[in-house]
Amino acid sequence: MAVNADFVGRTYPPSGPYPVSPQALAAFASAVGSTDPVHTSQEAAREAGYRDVIAPPTFAVTLAQECDRQFIEDPEAGVDFTRVVHGEQRFVHHRPITAGDEVLGTLTVDAVRQAGGHAMVTTRIELATTGGEALCTSTSTIVIRGGE
């Protein structure tokens, strides 16, 4: 089943809010081998000028993948999740995601392309606080492998 190209340009209603806990930031930092104390020590984070502990550079994916479900699990989108491979990922941080943030994510389908029997879908998620402060733009391209 082909990915539905009519979805290009579609923006879903915001999902969330997702609360950001210091425990989640510390667990993620540990899992990617980070030793930077700004993720685990409130004192170190404040010395560096942050309100509280902050997220590692790729933590936003945990929030973005929650938002992505809206599209990937939308039966009309035609995405066969069992054939999905992550092709590309990019983050632009507007300010570090910080413990205590309540995050909303707004997903837009930027592109749907067919190439070599595969489909490639680029989604963009704008993460912001419930107060409207921009946090991160997460852009992801997934490849849905074709063939049988």
Partner 1 sequence: MAVRAFAQTAVGDVVGPRTVPVGRATLVQYAAASGDQNPIHQDESFARSVGLPDVIAHGMWTMGAVGSVVEEWAGDGGRVVEFGTRFTKPVVVPQSGSQVEVTGVVKTLDGGSRRATLELTATSGGDKVLGRCLAVVQLD
Give the binding range for partner 1 (CB under 8 A) out of 2-10, 22-30, 99-107, 124-132: 22-30
Give yes or no for residue 34 binding partner 1 (CB under 8 A).
yes
Burial 42-57 (b: 16+ CB within 10 A, else e): eeebeeeebeebbbbe
Give yes or no for residue 24 binding partner 1 (CB under 8 A).
yes
Instruction: Determine which residue in the list 52, 66, 74, 110 makes contact with partner 1, applying CB under 8 A.
Output: 66
CB-based contact 62:24 (threshold 8 Å): yes
**Nearer Cβ to partner 1, position 55 or 107?**
55
Q: How many residues bind partner 1 (CB under 8 A)?
A: 36
Phi-psi region of 145 (alpha: psi -120 to 50; beta: other; left: phi over 0): beta
Tokens of 125: 């998620």
- Residues forming contacts to partner 1 in the complex (CB under 8 A) are 24, 27-39, 48, 50, 54-58, 61-62, 65-66, 85-93, 96, 139
